[in-house]
């Protein structure tokens, strides 16, 4: 399990404030890929005409990496939900993407 200190805490729907995420990458299963893809679609802008890195490799899709890290956070941090990802600061989201890349996808 990896502890991830948030730059800016998030407030959950139940009113609890979260300052740190616990990323449990080891608990991820194939079924969690569907949730990670759902999160990636929630935060992606389908109208942006940029090169799609996901067509080269899904590991290069920054939004999918955020989704993977967030599912790992849900598994390791009590009280998190899928929609709480939208409360992340931009910096925390980008850092989560990098964490998934270095600590899970390319280790």
- Please state the pTM of the whole predicted model: 0.85
CA distance 12 to 44: 22
pLDDT for 107 equals 77
Which H or E run includes 48? Answer: none
CA distance 78 to 39: 18
Tell me which DSSP letter residue 55 carries: G
What CA–CA distance (Å, rounded) separates 91 from 97? 10
pLDDT confidence of residue 47:
55
pLDDT, position 45: 67
pLDDT < 50: residue spans in the chain: none
Q: What was the pLDDT predicted at 14?
A: 84
Can you give the pLDDT at residue 54? 56
- CA 70, chain centre distance (Å): 3
Where are the extended beta strands (E) located within 12-84?
17-23
Neighbour count for residue 77 (Cβ, 10 Å):
20
pLDDT of residue 95: 96
Q: Write out the H or E segment, with its range, that includes residue 73.
A: helix 62-76
State residue 46's pLDDT score. 60
């Amino acid at each position: 399990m990896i502890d991830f200190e948030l730059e800016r805490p998030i407030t959950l729907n139940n009113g609890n404030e979260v300052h740190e995420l616990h990323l449990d990458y080891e608990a991820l299963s194939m079924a969690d890929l569907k949730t990670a893809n759902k999160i990636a679609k929630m935060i992606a802008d389908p109208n942006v005409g940029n090169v799609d890195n996901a067509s080269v490799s899904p590991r290069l899709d920054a939004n999918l990496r955020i989704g993977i890290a967030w599912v790992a956070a849900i598994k390791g941090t009590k009280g998190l939900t899928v929609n709480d990802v939208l409360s992340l600061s931009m910096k925390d989201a980008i850092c989560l993407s990098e964490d998934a890349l270095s600590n899970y996808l390319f280790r």
